[in-house]
Chain A
């Protein structure tokens, strides 16, 4: 399996490490030189320097043969654009977008992004599950 991950933040790097350990072939895309160098040294020359929301950079990363595309940028709009290019131009089978705003999840699904991972929802659920027992004790 070949996966492309946009963004070398903590999330992007963690996903890349896990996918590599699982035996997948991966390429990361990062816009900032310092982050690109850092991740490239850490993971071993798998990071393309460029803007993941452009056809040009996705092409360099080999999007044409990718099975999986994951956008982990901090901006929801950028993740949407990156996934739509992967989906509609390079015909990547599965696209995953990280979203920071629960209001965007439905729109992203409607626009053909296969999986939307909503960070706010995840954190809220986690906090609720941790805090709920405390509330019961207080009663």
Chain B
């Protein structure tokens, strides 16, 4: 229960966030584990059912993580997985063209409020930020961490 600053308890129960993750590779599965462990419901979509083996069974058993076999670049697959009413979609496959197509489909056709795409090529970041997509760039993050380490 969330306490407000004047001591009254918040009338509503805090709503769980529903999050979709496209791609259940090393990054996608890690995101799914982290976000579901902190209390969210995560839907993970991957073409390859074997990729779901990396997800811990206690999260799957508790339906904290829900898996769906499908193509994240196709609206039919996303709808079948129940992505239309998520609060956030994260596209984290190893191919950035897939991430960007999936992300733009989710943002501009399905109107998902927040969409984050993994983009390896740093030159592409400003293009897609301007097109309403939030981006994560591994090289950029690494550089920031190195700079912080040097300070």
Contacts and interface: CB of A to CB of B under 8 A. Distances in A.
A110 B109 contact: yes
Given A54-B121, A103-B76, A110-B109, A78 B97 contact: yes
Contact of A80 (B75, B97, B127): B97
* B interface majority secondary structure: helix
Nearest to B75: A103
Nearest to A51: B121
Interface in A51-88: 53-56, 75-78, 80-81, 84-85, 88
Nearest to A79: B97
Interface of A: 53-56, 75-78, 80-81, 84-85, 88-89, 101, 103-104, 106-107, 110-111
Given A81-B96, A107-B108, 17 more contacts: A55-B121, A55-B124, A56-B123, A77-B73, A77-B98, A77-B100, A84-B100, A85-B127, A88-B127, A88-B131, A89-B123, A103-B74, A106-B109, A107-B75, A107-B101, A110-B108, A111-B131
